[in-house]
Amino acid sequence: MKILHSSGNYQIHFLPFTGSHDVVVTDENVAGYYPDLLGENPIVVPAGEKSKNLETYAFVSQELLKRGVTRKSRIIALGGGVIGDLTGFVAATYMRGISFVQVPTTLLAQVDSSVGGKVGIDLPEGKNLIGAFHPPTEVFIDSRFLATLPAREYRCGMAEVIKYGWIMDEALLSELQEPPTDLSSIVQRCIKHKAMVVQEDEFETLGIRASLNFGHTVGHAIEQITHYERYTHGEAIAIGMVLEAKIAERLGIAPLGLSNQMTWLFEQYGLPTQYDSTTYSQDLIEIMRRDKKSEASEITMSLVTVPGSCKLVKDVPHNVIAEVLGE
């Protein structure tokens, strides 16, 4: 599959990645599972979101210098979304930009973060506050990586898979009523959806790419208020999707019962659907107003209208959000 973007295109290969002479950047877990894919002198960073920071960004850049990596070289991001975002951002800025290849090893990275060119790191003040659009030159999707994925990370990726169903693929929802037997064909289908959306709206200026944000306005606020410790991203957005469906029901945008349908499906995959905390809904709303996607503190949400379709709703009334969050 080929993805077109403003400065060229890249191939997505549904093939095993068999190793490379280029420098591989990975995390400690992936390095432990896949020692034969690391090449000669890999750069290995600690696993987890904490590596998406300025220190690790400087560390990886300096390690590339030590290895004599030049502007003509390319580097390999072997890992989940953290490694893809971090390595991609290093690649975007190292010597004013070098090529990089994405080899996503989590379900989330395969169906979402490895395609679309967004790369970046976090600041102590918030996630993804520094970043760039820097598409990879190639992506290798190999479902065999998923065999070693911890169950919680698998569920996290399934939340994004199910999201594609709600926003743009009703048939996928029907298929997912039963646990998938052919995950690789589902992964391919999700990548096709992501590819279509990012090709139409590469820089997220037309409101099309924003549709992928269903569940994320509320989900990100929940992640932030719980300091990224209590829920994985997938868990937070599963809760976010259910709550945003309730908001859509209240606004008369979606039929009553949609949020119950979502709750049922997420439960089949062991995902949480309720935000069980005493946090005040006003604090969550405050975070949503400061989200980098909000304009003039109006809250915008991508809301599902019927299963398989969504639309961008601007200026979602704060009182409706507060009502739903407060229940």
Ligand X SMILES: NC(=O)c1ccc[n+]([C@@H]2O[C@H](COP(=O)([O-])OP(=O)(O)OC[C@H]3O[C@@H](n4cnc5c(N)ncnc54)[C@H](O)[C@@H]3O)[C@@H](O)[C@H]2O)c1
Cα dihedral sign, 232-238-240-243: negative
Q: Does 185 bind ligand X (CB under 6 A)?
A: no
222 and 239 in contact (C-beta within 8 Å)? yes
Among 42, 80, 136, 240, the residue binding ligand X under the rule CB under 6 A is 80
Question: In the chain, how many H helices and how many E strands?
Answer: 12, 11
Phi-psi map region of 315: left, alpha, beta (phi>0 left; psi -120 to 50 alpha) = left
Cα dihedral sign, 223-198-93-27: positive
13 is catalytic: no
| Integer-rounded Cα radius of gyration of the chain | 19
Q: Does 203 bind ligand X (CB under 6 A)?
A: no
Q: Does 30 bind ligand X (CB under 6 A)?
A: yes
Distance CA 149, CA 177 (A): 22
- CB-neighbour burial class of residue 51 (10 A; exposed 0-12, middle 13-18, buried 19+): buried
Q: Does 169 bind ligand X (CB under 6 A)?
A: no
265 and 173 in contact (C-beta within 8 Å)? yes
Sequence-distant (≥ 6) Cβ neighbours of residue 263 within 8 angstroms: 242, 273
Distance from the Cα of residue 213 to its chain's centroid:
10
Q: Does 225 bind ligand X (CB under 6 A)?
A: no
Among 23, 92, 112, 216, the residue binding ligand X under the rule CB under 6 A is 112
Q: What does the block give as tokens for 288?
A: 């949503």
Q: How many CB atoms lie within 10 A of CB 108?
A: 24
Q: Does 237 bind ligand X (CB under 6 A)?
A: no
Q: Annotated catalytic residue: which of 204, 260, 286, 311?
A: 204
Q: Segment contacting ligand X (CB under 6 A): 81-89, 93-101, 166-174, 309-317? A: 81-89
Q: Does 106 bind ligand X (CB under 6 A)?
A: yes
128 is catalytic: no
Q: Annotated catalytic residue: which of 49, 63, 153, 160?
A: 160
Q: Does 113 bind ligand X (CB under 6 A)?
A: yes
**Cβ 276 to ligand X shortest distance, Å:** 22
Among 37, 76, 98, 108, the residue binding ligand X under the rule CB under 6 A is 108
SS3 241: helix
Q: Does 83 bind ligand X (CB under 6 A)?
A: yes
Per-residue binder mask for ligand X (CB under 6 A), 124-143, x = binder: ---xx---------------
Among 81, 135, 219, 240, the residue binding ligand X under the rule CB under 6 A is 81
Which parts of this chain interact with ligand X (CB under 6 A)? 27, 29-30, 33, 47-49, 52, 79-83, 85, 105-106, 108-109, 112-113, 116, 118, 127-128, 145, 148-149, 153, 156, 233
- Give the residue numbers marked as catalytic: 96, 118, 160, 194, 204, 209, 213, 216, 220, 233
